[in-house]
Amino acid sequence: MADGRTEEWTLTQVDVECEGRRATIPVLVGPPQGPALLGATTLEVLGLGIDPLNRRLIPVDLYLA
């Protein structure tokens, strides 16, 4: 954690659909009272980026290295 604490969370996979795109994403399952977060890995796998001015997700071109 940001404050130096360590916690163990379950790692699983979840089928996610967002903005008409679907993928299986690795997910850390935190405590029930914790916030739901859409992380960078999920956005990357779905090919989505963030438009902070309009507060929305936008499709981005994916380039494979």
Cα separation, 65 vs 58, in Å, equals 22
Residue ranges making up the domain that contains 34: 10-59
Q: Is residue 65 part of a domain?
A: no
Q: Is residue 64 part of a domain?
A: no
- The reported pLDDT for the residue numbered 63 is 65
Query: What's the per-residue H, E or C state across 14-58?
Result: EEEEECCEEEEEEEEECCCCCCCCCCHHHHHHHCEEEECCCCEEE
Q: Is residue 54 part of a domain?
A: yes
Tens-place pLDDT, residues 13-62: 999 998 889 999 999 898 888 877 778 888 988 999 999 999 999 999 76
Q: How many structural domains does the chain have? A: 1
